[in-house]
């Protein structure tokens, strides 16, 4: 009899256990993180685990990362139109679907833009003069005061601030003589730096008398003010007659391009140029279209040259000019290179900021709100932000920065309070 068949026993082979993941060294992780293109994505990566957070939050890594990345647009600081005696500023962060919305909202919750913690507080609050590299330049001048007001540099995120020293009368008397008490048109601004972000920004104060234009410079390295330059209007062929003594003004705000500052001269078809490296004034003729309703802003073009956007109030487009050298060694001329159509349906446009991180910013007026637009200088691409500002308003300053967890100590180089 045949023996019963034996059950077939299958040989079950144990699965090989997966090889353990090799631990990535800190140096390798740093090289991975440095290649993350978006600061917002890097901020999210820092929340994944304690090790990632430790590496990304290291000041040395952050300095390296920020040196390779431009700050991102977070929103605008703007001043609603209220009684001038009590200026107030608000921050409007970009909103969804903008890619920076999460970072901007986090920054808006962390930062503080009332500036009421900066003394002295009497009848007048601090007023914003300029915003650059995450720092805000403020001025304080009580009613009845004449001359240069008090200045402060502030970081809204950390609430650190620096009170700049007062300008001594003796310093001005050395160049202005008896005209020291006839100064007008006081204007303070940062001097942009093309170096690393850790370089403290210098501050420039400009004023004019009937015969002279004077610029003073505060350097954080020295901690005091000095005379940058003092030039007569006659030497610039900008003669002032008794009839226009009180109306001869330089139009603000200034434009910055390649270490130079540019102002439109009122009632003169010219630009006033200040080279901050040599501290020398000069003038540049403007295109023939000459009336005061034209807004002009100077920007950086390729190969170290300058260009200009021009807008005629009530117009429907921006004119883009390049500034080219002719055959003569010192002969220059503006050339109209492009016309950029503006969105329809707006009563008027205002150019609010020039060449901020490669953009100019425009505000279109329509009804009770004014939407904010950016125009990329290289590509002429226009983008609208969900940042409608309620009309009327006084001033708008675009704000660029990094996520709060990645922001540097903005007042490095100053002795912050």
**Domain residue limits, the chain:** 24-69, 70-406
pLDDT at 262: 92
Which residues have CB under 8 Å from 319's CB, separation 6+? 309, 310, 311, 336, 338, 339
Handedness of CA 224, 154, 202, 253 (dihedral sign): negative
pLDDT at 394: 76
pLDDT at 203: 93
d(C-alpha 33, C-alpha 42), whole Å? 7
What kind and span of H or E run contains 185? strand 184-191
The count of other CB atoms within 10 Å of the CB of residue 231 is 21
Residues of the chain with pLDDT under 70: 1-23, 81-87, 121-124, 141-147, 177-181, 194-199, 239-249, 251-252, 289-292, 325-332, 353-356, 409-410, 412-417
Please tell me the pTM assigned to this model: 0.84
- Three-state secondary-structure class, residue 44: helix
List, as own/partner pairs, every contact residues 364-368 make where C-beta atoms lie below 8 angstroms and the sequence separation is at least 24, other chains included.
Answer: 365/391, 367/391
User: Could you tell me the two tokens for 345?
Assistant: 């349906």
pLDDT at 4: 46
Q: How many residues does the chain have?
A: 417
- Report the helix count and the strand count for the chain, using DSSP H and E: 6, 23
Which residues have CB under 8 Å from 53's CB, separation 6+? 46, 47
pLDDT at 261: 92
Look up the CATH architecture of domain 70-406: 6 Propeller (2.120)
Query: Residue 218 pairs with which residues in a beta bridge?
Result: 203, 225
Whether 130 and 190 have beta carbons less than 8 Å apart is answered as: yes
């Amino acid at each position: 009899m045949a023996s019963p068949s034996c059950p077939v026993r299958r040989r079950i082979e144990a699965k090989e256990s997966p090889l353990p993941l090799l631990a990535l060294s800190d140096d390798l992780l740093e090289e991975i993180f440095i290649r993350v293109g978006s600061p917002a994505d890097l901020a999210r990566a820092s929340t994944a685990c304690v090790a990632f957070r430790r590496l990304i939050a290291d000041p040395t890594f952050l300095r390296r990362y920020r040196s390779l990345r431009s700050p991102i647009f977070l929103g605008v600081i703007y001043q609603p139109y209220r009684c001038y005696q009590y200026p107030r500023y608000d921050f409007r962060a970009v909103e969804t679907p903008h890619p920076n919305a999460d970072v901007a909202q986090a920054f808006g919750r962390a930062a503080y833009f009332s500036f009421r913690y900066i003394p002295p507080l009497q009848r007048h609050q601090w007023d914003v003069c300029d915003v650059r590299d995450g720092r805000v330049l403020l001025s304080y001048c009580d009613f009845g005061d004449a001359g240069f007001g008090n200045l402060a540099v502030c970081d809204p995120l950390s609430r650190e601030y620096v009170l700049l020293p007062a300008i001594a009368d003796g310093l001005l008397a050395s160049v202005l003589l008896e005209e020291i008490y006839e100064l007008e048109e006081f204007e303070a601004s940062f001097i942009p730096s093309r170096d690393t972000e850790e370089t403290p920004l210098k501050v420039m104060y400009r004023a004019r008398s009937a015969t002279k234009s004077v610029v003073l410079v505060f350097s954080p390295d020295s901690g005091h003010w000095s005379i940058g330059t003092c030039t007569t209007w006659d030497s610039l062929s900008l003669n002032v007659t008794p009839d226009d003594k009180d109306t001869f003004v330089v139009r603000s705000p200034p434009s910055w391009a390649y270490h130079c500052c540019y102002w439109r001269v009122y009632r003169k078809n010219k630009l006033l140029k200040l080279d901050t490296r040599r501290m020398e004034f000069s003038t540049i003729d403007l295109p023939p279209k000459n009336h005061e309703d034209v807004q002009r802003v100077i920007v950086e073009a390729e190969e170290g040259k300058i260009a200009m956007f021009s807008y005629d109030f009530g117009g429907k487009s921006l004119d883009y000019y390049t500034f080219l050298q002719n055959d003569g060694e010192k002969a220059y001329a503006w050339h109209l290179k492009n016309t950029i159509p503006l969105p329809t349906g707006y009563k008027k446009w205002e150019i609010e900021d020039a060449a901020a991180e490669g953009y100019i910013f425009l505000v279109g007026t329509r009804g009770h709100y004014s939407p904010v637009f950016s125009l990329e200088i290289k590509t002429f691409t226009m983008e609208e932000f969900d940042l409608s500002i309620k009309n009327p308003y006084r001033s708008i300053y675009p704000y660029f920065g990094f996520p709060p967890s990645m922001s540097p100590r903005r007042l490095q180089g100053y002795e912050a309070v």
